């Protein structure tokens, strides 16, 4: 069920993201969300877009670290829920390696687009991948990476979809800056809408990549305590990045808050006095929308809630 803040006249999320990228004076800020509550909070704060983190999805759905354990099914199901809480707000989603060869990648693009995802990113790690800011990543040959991007572009065109394709390279760590640039340059020539240089190690490298990519929009992955220097939104905009994602902002905050709450319970036998109440939590997650929907349809089941 979508929020009643949406309108059937609202542009598609992919179209909205394209409009945001067309404005050269702004940078799209997308906090990391991984389940319904984090998405609801981000939407309530009015962010331009949301970012579905693969790491957060793996941890929240499977209880395991981001080591390539989440399947295409896990990711599509989570993306569909997140994208449709408010379908007018673009969701940028991690699609890992595309979950297989060209046929599987075409299927991934189709499923993500039909789930309501505005943009997805596909990377050049091997299938047994890991988080981009962990050591020991293995990278596929250029030709395999280009085949992945070509398969995604072909699927979009053949199926008449509007989803944006983001090409991500993790090759900086193993093969250096020049290799990362060459891969992203070619991916943009193939048809990627945005490029994603993962784990650049200095501010100068970030600036150089944006400069070298010219008119192709660049995405900055801002991972707390990761390989990339930590920049603010304004600093990233000054360097010329067009999208900045903060994948840890949601689950990192949740881990900290839940740990503090449960520690208080363990140590005192009581919940913290400043916890969010159940009604306030329900209101965040659409209670009032549901009451109004029920009322407009002539229902009475929810009339007594407030």
Could you tell me how many residues make up the chain? 306
Q: Quick one: pLDDT at residue 5?
A: 45
d(CA 129, CA 123): 10
Q: Quick one: pLDDT at residue 8?
A: 38
Q: Quick one: pLDDT at residue 129?
A: 59
pLDDT tens series, the chain, 306 aa: 554 444 333 469 999 999 999 999 999 999 999 999 999 999 999 999 999 999 999 999 999 998 889 999 999 999 999 999 999 999 999 999 999 999 999 999 999 999 999 999 999 998 765 564 555 579 999 999 999 999 999 999 999 999 999 999 999 999 999 999 999 999 999 999 999 999 999 999 999 999 999 999 999 999 988 889 999 999 999 999 999 999 999 999 999 999 999 999 999 999 999 999 999 999 999 999 998 988 888 888 787 776
**3-state SS record for 274-295:** CCCCHHHHHHHCCHHHHHHHHH
Reduced to 3 states (helix: H, G, I; strand: E, B; else coil), residue 137 is: coil
* β-sheet with 243-246: strand ranges across: 194-197, 164-169, 119-122, 91-94, 50-52, 28-33, 243-246, 219-221
Sign of CA pseudo-dihedral 150, 156, 162, 168: negative
Residue 100, phi then psi, degrees to nearest 5: 140, -160
Q: Quick one: pLDDT at residue 7?
A: 37
CATH architecture entry for 13-250: Alpha-Beta Barrel (3.20)
Q: Quick one: pLDDT at residue 6?
A: 43
Reduced to 3 states (helix: H, G, I; strand: E, B; else coil), residue 39 is: helix
> How distant, in Å, are the alpha carbons of 28, 193, 206, 230 from that of 237?
9, 18, 11, 13
Q: Quick one: pLDDT at residue 299?
A: 84
Q: Quick one: pLDDT at residue 4?
A: 43
CA 204 to chain centre: 25
Name the CA radius of gyration of the chain, rounded. Answer: 20
Whether residue 165 contacts residue 193, with contact meaning beta carbons closer than 8 Å, is answered with yes
Is the pTM higher than 0.85? The answer reads: yes
Whether residue 193 contacts residue 167, with contact meaning beta carbons closer than 8 Å, is answered with no
Q: Quick one: pLDDT at residue 137?
A: 75
User: Both tokens of residue 54?
Assistant: 């693969």
Whether residue 186 contacts residue 142, with contact meaning beta carbons closer than 8 Å, is answered with yes
Domain ranges of the chain: 13-250, 256-297
């Amino acid at each position: 069920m979508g929020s009643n803040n949406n309108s059937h006249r609202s542009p598609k999320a992919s179209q909205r993201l394209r409009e945001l990228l067309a404005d050269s004076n702004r940078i799209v800020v997308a906090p990391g969300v991984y389940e319904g509550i984090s998405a609801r909070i981000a939407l309530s704060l009015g962010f331009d877009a949301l970012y579905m983190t693969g790491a957060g999805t793996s941890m929240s759905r499977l209880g395991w670290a981001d080591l390539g354990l989440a399947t295409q099914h896990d990711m599509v199901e989570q993306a569909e829920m997140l994208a449709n809480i408010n379908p007018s707000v673009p969701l940028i989603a991690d699609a890992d390696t595309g979950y297989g060869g060209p046929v599987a990648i075409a299927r991934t693009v189709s499923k993500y687009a039909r789930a309501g995802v505005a943009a997805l990113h596909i990377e050049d790690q091997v299938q047994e991948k890991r988080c981009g800011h962990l050591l020991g990543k293995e990278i596929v040959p250029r030709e395999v990476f280009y085949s992945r991007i070509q398969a995604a572009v072909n699927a979009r065109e053949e199926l008449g979809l509007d989803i944006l394709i983001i090409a991500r390279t993790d090759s900086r760590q193993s093969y250096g800056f020049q290799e990362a640039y060459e891969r992203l340059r070619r991916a943009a020539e193939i048809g990627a809408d945005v490029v994603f240089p993962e784990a650049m190690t200095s501010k100068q490298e970030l600036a150089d990549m944006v400069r070298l990519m010219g008119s192709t929009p660049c995405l900055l992955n801002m991972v707390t305590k990761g390989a990339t220097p930590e920049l603010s939104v304004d600093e990233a905009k000054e360097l010329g990045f067009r999208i900045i994602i903060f994948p840890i902002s949601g689950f990192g905050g949740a881990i900290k808050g839940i740990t503090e709450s449960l520690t208080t319970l363990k140590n005192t036998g009581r919940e913290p006095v400043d916890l969010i109440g159940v009604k306030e939590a329900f209101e965040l997650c659409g209670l009032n929308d549901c009451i109004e929907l029920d009322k407009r349809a002539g229902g009475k089941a929810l009339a007594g809630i407030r």
